[in-house]
Amino acid sequence: MAVNKIYKDSVAALADVLKDDMTIMSGGFGLCGIPDALIEAIRDSGVKGLTIISNNAGIDDAGLGLLLQTRQVRKMISSYVGENATFAKQFLAGELEIEFNPQGTLAERIRAGGAGIPAFFTATGAGTQIAEGKVQQEFDGRLYVQERGLRADLAIVHAWKADPEGNLVYRKTARNFNPIMATAGEITVAQVEHLVESGSIDPDHIVTAGIFVNRIVPLQTVNKRIEQRTVRPRA
């Protein structure tokens, strides 16, 4: 294979990519399926003035919360940031900008961006303050809001399995925003739990085709945190 997509760790995979004031998409929902090792490498690089596109903002001491603690983030584009007190403090102090998007609009903006679609119409948010300043148009008697496609300089994602080509498979609800973000980064870096041999993933089971993945970081250790541990008693 002419191009080697495999990097030894997250620092090596991001070293020549990170720069101040760049836009980064980060997969995950809450702390589920987040590219934690890549986030730590971004923190350690000291790069700042970042615009981060991510459904959530992590919690104080995990996920994107790490980049908020170090004040590396200028702006968040998210749908819900309720679990992060650091976020609230910096926002109220005027140190952090936030653009709220309805979750489905955020997902579709990313999907559209990755597919080369500059804008689309949705009924979500019509007649609310989300629609203010945006083109609104009626189709078949219903009002729709125009939303723009989203792309980023860098997309960081987490996957369960990858092969050397960059074909990715995800696990359960850790899939979430990862596959769509993988399509919308100028450079996409995937951290993966298992790097497997070419041909060992059934092509019918591949969720993200390797064309969307530029770099692969096999994780040495996998750290997963549970945000809300809920259980039921055994009968």
Partner 1 sequence: MPWTRDQMAARAAQELRDGFYCNLGIGIPTLVANHVPPGMSIQFQSENGMLGMGPFPFEGEEDADLINAGKQTVTELPTTSFFDSAASFAMIRGGHINISILGALQVAENGDLANWMIPGKMVKGMGGAMDLVAGVRRVVVLMEHTAGGKPKLLKRCTLPLTGAGVIDLVITELGVFEVAHKGRDGGLRLVDIAPGVTVEEIREKTEAPFTVAEGLRVGV
Q: By CB under 8 A, name the binding residues for partner 1.
A: 29-33, 55, 78-83, 88, 91-92, 98, 100, 102-108, 110-111, 122-130, 160, 170-180, 207, 224-234
The residue among 69 and 103 lying less far from partner 1, judged by its C-beta, is 103
| Minimal distance, residue 48 CB to partner 1, in Å | 24
The residue among 206 and 207 lying less far from partner 1, judged by its C-beta, is 207
SS3 assignment, position 65: helix
The residue among 7 and 177 lying less far from partner 1, judged by its C-beta, is 177
Residue pair 58/80 in contact by the 8 Å Cβ criterion: no
Cβ atoms within 10 Å, residue 234:
4
Cα gap 160→168, rounded to integer Å: 7
Give the containing element (helix H, strand E) for 91: helix 85-92
Residue pair 84/65 in contact by the 8 Å Cβ criterion: yes
Amino acid code (one letter) for 76:
M
Q: Pseudo-torsion of CA 175, 180, 185, 191, nearest 10°?
A: 10
The residue among 7 and 170 lying less far from partner 1, judged by its C-beta, is 170
| Minimal distance, residue 34 CB to partner 1, in Å | 10
Going across the sheet that includes 142-148, the strands are: 119-122, 142-148, 136-139
| Minimal distance, residue 173 CB to partner 1, in Å | 5
The residue among 221 and 234 lying less far from partner 1, judged by its C-beta, is 234
| Minimal distance, residue 18 CB to partner 1, in Å | 25
| Minimal distance, residue 12 CB to partner 1, in Å | 26
